[in-house]
Structure 1
Amino acid sequence: MTDPLIPSVNDAYRATLQVVESVEPRIAGAIRSELHDQRASLKLIASENYASPAVLLTMGNWLSDKYAEGTIGHRFYAGCQNVDTVESIAAEHARELFGAEYAYVQPHSGIDANLVAFWSILAHRVEQPELAEAGVRQVNELSEDAWEVLRKKFGEQRMLGMSLDAGGHLTHGFRPNISGKMFQQRSYGTNPETGLVDYDQVAAAAREFRPLILIAGYSAYPRRIDFARMREIADEVGATFMVDMAHFAGLVAGKVFTGDEDPVPFADVVTTTTHKSLRGPRGGLVLATGEYAPSVDRGCPMVLGGPLSHVMAAKAVALAEARQPSFQTYAQQVADNAKTLADGLMRRGAKLVTDGTDNHLVLIDVSGYGLTGRQAESALLEAGVVTNRNAVPSDPNGAWYTSGVRLGTPALTSRGFGGAEFEQVADLITSVLSSTTPATASNGQPGKARYVLADGVAEGTRARIAELLEANPLYPGLEL
């Protein structure tokens, strides 16, 4: 993102916005404002990044106009030969990049990818003789009688995944989410003293609970996972081993996570988003072994509707970018920057979950500042630092107000930030948090959302941020 745009790219964006403006100028204005806001703020949300101009431009084309339900060579609509080409190229890049036997690039989002995975695992695990008795030749050819067989077979199936407050994701069995309604669910947490995954505890929970699916992966766990050990646990209890690597897919693609820390050689099914650390368009994909491929390949029509062909094209471009040597350099810098940020925060007195990081994210426990996560998030935003509040293990404030703030390094690394810049970022964050105090609500009681930021802190912080961002411009040369 630090290389100046070639003139033709600049012209392309200008022309695009002029066309939009001719129809609905308010939308063109909002798009310009979004670029301005992203350029002017310190983006530290761990699940966000900046896609390349090539990826962004790929989404704005007439592939959007084509329906292509089904899969490559087996569509429910005619005239899908170009979509077949796009999907084939995207899947090829995904297989080669991650070393997977099979890749399914249709999911619109991470939750869609997980739903495809869940239903594919359920369908794969159904006893084939029972389906044969119901006259079913393929899982996507289901009569109502066959669905009755499946409902009985699927009933009371179990899932074991990381708890939300330990860093897991809501799609790993959180009760309000569809995953928590589809399955009987139980969570494994982390060691209360270290904040790290206790594999013996996971194994004990698996032996007792006997899940159909064991899920590994996280959205707010600042360490790596031993996927070889998790695979052993899954095999011991006969579970399908699934990994959701949405957050750290870029570190896998960039060869920062290798050996036992690379989930693809160990999992039956791996899901991911294509944005976040992978730096592609918003979307999802599923990787699978050959054994599970036929079930995953029926994601449409089993779970998904028509694929977003223009987004699949953008996924292909992003995956092609991730196969370049420069992406490995980027991914390593993401991890190095996270460590620099964590060390800088701790030296300045911040309390971090697990006392550091070895991936792309950092989780601050802001209770030491007397704040809730909601208060800290709001104060930082006022000062120009964009983060998100997040629960910490055994969080007394729950999932809405929380006691933590999550930080991530992928986006600012894309802007060219290195260790020196992230040292300054650590100083900015701790200065803001140290200058923030809780405020009382109108009824005189302590308010979990209200805060007071000391005079001049927001303005001073924004001035320092402006200097950092000016030295590391976003999409340099792009003038709209």
Structure 2
Amino acid sequence: MTVTHAPSADVLRRQDPELAEILLGELARQSTTLQLNAAENFTSPAVLAALGSPLANKYAEGYPGARHHGGCELVDVAERVAVDRARALFGADHANVQSHSGSSAVLAAYAALLRPGDTVLALGLPYGGHLTHGSPANFSGRWFDFVGYGVDAESGLVDHDRVRALARAHRPKAIVCGSISYPRHLDYAAFREIADEAGAYLIADAAHPIGLVAGGAAPNPVPYADVVCATTHKVLRGPRGGMILCGAELAGRIDRAVFPFTQGGAQMHTIAAKAVAFGEAATPAFSTYARQVVANARVLAAGLAAGGLAVTTGGTDTHLVSADPAPLGTDGREARGRLAAAGMVLDCCALPDGTARGLRLGTAAVTTQGMREEEMARIAELLVGVVRGAQDGAGVREEVRELTAGFPPYPA
């Protein structure tokens, strides 16, 4: 039998209708509700095609030209393409594209640069730090001595003088800059200066802004950080996965930390999908998209502020908006539940004072659908009305259906 194409979705419908129904239901959910989760996006059909390709069958422990399995001639080419495209896109000497997630990328960076018990300075979890930045429930908090810095309670901005004072007092082996809810550009040059004064490595956790970096809409951490960890989904619009960028001098240590220290076989279908995404991100169309993501986020932030929510830092430079619904008489979790019932899907996040939970929104997915400033202003109005309790959730849900119907994520 000669196979000339990959199996289609029709096969799943015939063989496993129960799972097919779940997948179709999820597509319907994504298509009829507003995806305002800052960590999510819609991949292109080409990325999905690579994820569902025969490369999913290939075991490929190791690296191109040095695999532990035979038959890797073509997947070697695919990985080299992904690496070359990532290096060119971000101006990095070296790229490792095998990390299964952003967290596994951070784990590998720590494994390459640190030893258990080393001190690490990172944004504290109550202020928007990631689990891999020292959570006691995570490997990072169990293996390393994390010291957390915060943000100014009023401005919501990083206080670099405070970071410098902590670095001088604790002499960390590494400093991590990055957040899951910081809506402004990070000053990588300032962090580099502080790291140099402390004799520390600088690790940029750029999971959220890396797609904006690719599109020229955010500063590039590569020239400043010793290691940059990132995800390939979110604004970058690729498959769920991670990558690591670094200079040539750390390339070997990073590669060994990924495989064999923290991972086994590479997911070659995902690596091929990353290559597709990197290629798409290098186009002028993606640059236009990235700038529209930011423009949309600014309109959304302005609309929320006009409606009475307290917008963190007074606005945004990125795809991400953080806001406190307390002025409208509710908290982040209750507001999130109301909005979910109205078809508006988003997250909670830490607020600058480190004690309360707010709302975290992102504009990457709705911008991929083609929505622009006019739609963002209307979404802000709907959101404020639901949080205030001034608009019926069922009525808003129907309006959301009508809005999303005009912007299908995967047009027929």
Given the two structures, how large is their TM-score scaled by the length of structure 1? Answer: 0.83
Match of 1:415? 369
Q: Tell me the number of residue pairs that the alignment of Structure 1 and Structure 2 aligns.
A: 407
Alignment equivalent of 2:289, drawn from 330, 347, 352: 330
How far apart are residue 377 of structure 1 and its match?
A: 0.8
CA shift at 1:364, angstroms?
A: 1.2
1:372 maps onto 2:331 in alignment: yes
Deviations 1:279-319 (A, max 9, x none): 00000000011111010111111111111000000000011
Q: Does 1:88 align with 2:42?
A: no
Identity fraction in percent: 45
Larger Rg: 1
Q: Which ranges of structure 1 fall in alignment gaps of 5 or more residues?
A: 1-11, 123-153, 398-402, 436-453
- Separation of aligned partners in 1, 2:320 and 2:79: 31
> Which residue pairs with 2:104 in the alignment?
112
Contact 2:329 2:388 in 1 (8 A): no
Residue of structure 1 equivalent to 2:8? 16
Counterpart position of 2:157: 196
2:253 corresponds to 1:253: no
| Matching residue within 421, 426, 432 for 2:386 | 432
CA apart distance, 1:471: 2.1
- Among 396, 402, 411, the alignment partner of 1:461 is 396
Deviations 1:311-360 (A, max 9, x none): 00000001100011100000000011110100111111111111211111
Offset at 1:79? Answer: 1.8
Equivalent residue number for residue 237 of structure 1 = 198
Q: Kindly state the Cα deviation for residue 469 of structure 1 after the two structures are TM-superposed.
A: 1.3
After TM superposition, the structure 1 = structure 2 runs for residues 238-317 of structure 1, keeping only pairs within 5 Å, are: 238-257=199-218, 261-298=219-256, 299-317=258-276
Does the residue aligned with 1:47 lie in a helix, a strand or coil?
Answer: coil
In structure 2, how many angstroms separate the alpha carbons of the residues matched to 1:72 and 1:179? 30
Q: Gaps (5+ residues) in structure 2?
A: none
Q: Which amino acid aligns with 1:30?
A: I
CA apart distance, 1:394:
3.1
Match of 1:98 in 2: 90
Deviation at 1:472? 1.6
> In structure 2, what residue type is equivalent to 1:41?
T
1:35 corresponds to which residue? 27
Q: CA deviation at 1:155?
A: 4.1
Q: Give the aligned residue type for 1:410.
A: A
Out of 465, 468, 472, which is 2:407 matched to?
472
Give, in angstroms, the shift of residue 462 of structure 1: 1.4
The answer to whether the aligner puts 1:405 opposite 2:366 as a matched pair is no
1:63 match:
55
CA deviation after TM superposition for structure 1 residue 405, in Å: 1.0
Secondary structure in 1 matching 2:125: coil
Q: Following the alignment from structure 1 to structure 2, what is the Cα–Cα distance between the partners of residues 96 and 217?
A: 23
Q: CA deviation at 1:82?
A: 1.4
Q: CA deviation at 1:167?
A: 1.9
Partner residue of 1:391 out of 327, 347, 350: 350
**2:328 aligned with 1:362:** no
- 1:101-156 alpha-carbon deviations (Å, 9 max, x no partner): 0000000111111111111113xxxxxxxxxxxxxxxxxxxxxxxxxxxxxxx342
3-state SS of the aligned residue for 1:272? strand
Residue deviations 1:206-255 (CA, integer Å, cap 9, x gap): 11111111001111011111101100000111100010111111110000
- The alpha-carbon deviation at position 370 of structure 1 amounts to 2.6
Contact 2:151–2:159 (CA<8 Å) still a contact in 1? yes
Residue number in structure 1 paired with 2:306:
347
Letter in 2 for 1:262: N
Q: Secondary structure at the match of 2:323?
A: strand
CA contact (8 A) 2:127 2:354 kept: no
In 1: Cα distance, 2:73 partner to 2:204 partner: 32
* 8 Å Cα contact 1:376-1:389 kept in structure 2: no
Shift of 1:393: 2.5
